[in-house]
A = this chain, B = another copy of it.
Amino acid sequence: MSDAFIKQYLMTAGPTPLPPSVSQVMAEPILYHRAPAFIEVYARALDGLRQVFQTQNDVLAFAASGSGAMESAVANLTRPGEPALVASCGKFGERWGELCDAYGAQTVRLDVEWGSKVEPAELDRVLGANPQVSLVFTTLSETSTGVVNDIRSLTEVAHEHDALIVVDAVSGLGAVPIPQDEWGVDVVVGGSQKALMCPPGLGFASPSERALARAAEDGGGRYYFDWHRTAAGQRKDPPDSPFTPAVSLFVALDVALGMIHDEGLDQVHARHALLGSAARQAVKALELELFGPEDEGANVVTAIKMPDGVEGAKVPKLMRDRFGVTIAGGQGRLKGKIVRIAHCGYFGAFDIITSIAALEMSLRELGHELELGAGVGAAQRVFSEAGVPVGAPA
């Protein structure tokens, strides 16, 4: 601990804070993965995942980080020497490119400036110029910048060019809508440690039948992440995992999915929208600059440019060391340039207020003039005027 006497507030976009009922269920005696008690949990969690992914597809679950589930998509869908398009607007988009390169694909890159969205028209242009591309990899919520892409439109464009689209929704799923079946997204990739309110260690991929059929064409170069192996297990009655599942994480997931179900997915999305709106209003009231376009849909992470004269990297450090509030700074090329206020998962109104209050105090201590409480007040107004319950689920 940096200081055991400072009460700690975890305000990051992954790992995100866990509801007490989720963390506490992991303290129960562990279950044997072939015992009825676990099989019941496993089956219910797999079904609950389908509801959050809003799909009839199997949601394949891997003991892995979200990047492992991303790799499953690349390993199952790309072929050495064949083209794959990566539409990237940040660090996690770039990861798709690195994965495609590692698997020997002929990677075509549509790189958008960090902080901007992937424009559907631009995807259309690049796919038009590369008619041999039959796979598009992109990102729902780009955690490194806060940008949320318009997956519905990007999917339409990909399909017009007869390409499959694979979406990294690790940080967006459960925070912003991505109704897979309604939008026809071919593969959605998720992870446990973001809006699903669980510890890291589970990765998910929900391939459509079309994507699964493509995966079946060549089974080489993969085993653990082979979709058909895991799908065959999960389709058994009762479902079975080809490898020992991460039992304690599944038990946690089951509880968290139950909470999402009880709150209702639409309300979960509405809560994230309200939290995102409050964070943005606070930033504006503080006369700070949002990183990237102001966007009604950017409800996972709010990225804030650090003002001139403030050494950006010091801000999250001071917030943590002095006030016990852990937020994320910038990653990669944004190191020291932005900070990121998360509202992804088990977050309520007063988490935003805490993050903004600590940000105000830290910026002031680092010599940036601002009115203490100005950002907090703006966030309060958003919550008060919403006139709806704004807490995280009980």
Query: For chain A, what secondary structure do more than half of its interface residues adopt (helix, strand, loop), or is it mixed?
Result: loop
> A10: which B residues are within 8 A, CB to CB?
29-32
Q: How many copies does the complex hold?
A: 2
Give the interface residue-count category, chain A.
35 or more
Q: Mark A342-381, 1 if CB is under 8 A from B, else 0.
A: 0000000000000000000000000000000000000000
For window 61-75 of A, CB contacts with B under 8 Å fall at 62-68, 71, 74
Expressed in whole angstroms, the Cα–Cα distance for A24 and B30 within the complex equals 11
Task: Mark interface residues in A1-43 (1 if CB within 8 Å of B CB, else 0).
Answer: 1100000101010111110000110111111111111000000
Task: Check if B248 sits within 8 Å of A199, measured CB to CB.
Answer: yes
Most interface-central of A17, A62, A244 (chain B CB within 10 A): A244
A201 at the interface (CB under 8 A from B): yes
Q: Which residue of B lies closest to A68 (CB)?
A: B224
Contact A23 B18 (CB under 8 A): no
Instruction: Write out the residue numbers on chain B whose beta carbons fall within 8 Å of the beta carbon of A249.
Output: 199, 201, 246, 248-249
Contact, CB under 8 Å: A15 / B31: yes
- Take A2-B36, A63-B65, A224-B68 as given contacts and tell me if A15 and B247 are in contact as well, using a CB distance cutoff of 8 Å: yes
- Which residue of B37, B71, B200 is within 8 Å of A33 (Cβ)? B200
CA distance A242 to B98 in the complex (A): 13
Which of B27, B63, B247 is in CB contact (< 8 Å) with A24? Answer: B27
CB atoms of A26 and B26 under 8 A apart: yes
**Closest Cβ of chain B: how far from A25's Cβ, in Å?**
8
Q: Can you list 11 A-B pairs, Cβ within 8 angstroms, ordered by A? A: A14-B244, A23-B29, A26-B248, A32-B326, A64-B224, A65-B224, A68-B68, A71-B224, A102-B219, A104-B220, A224-B225
Chain A contacts to B: CB under 8 angstroms: 1-2, 8, 10, 12, 14-18, 23-24, 26-37, 62-68, 71, 74, 80, 98-99, 102-104, 191, 193, 199-201, 219-226, 242-249, 320, 326, 328
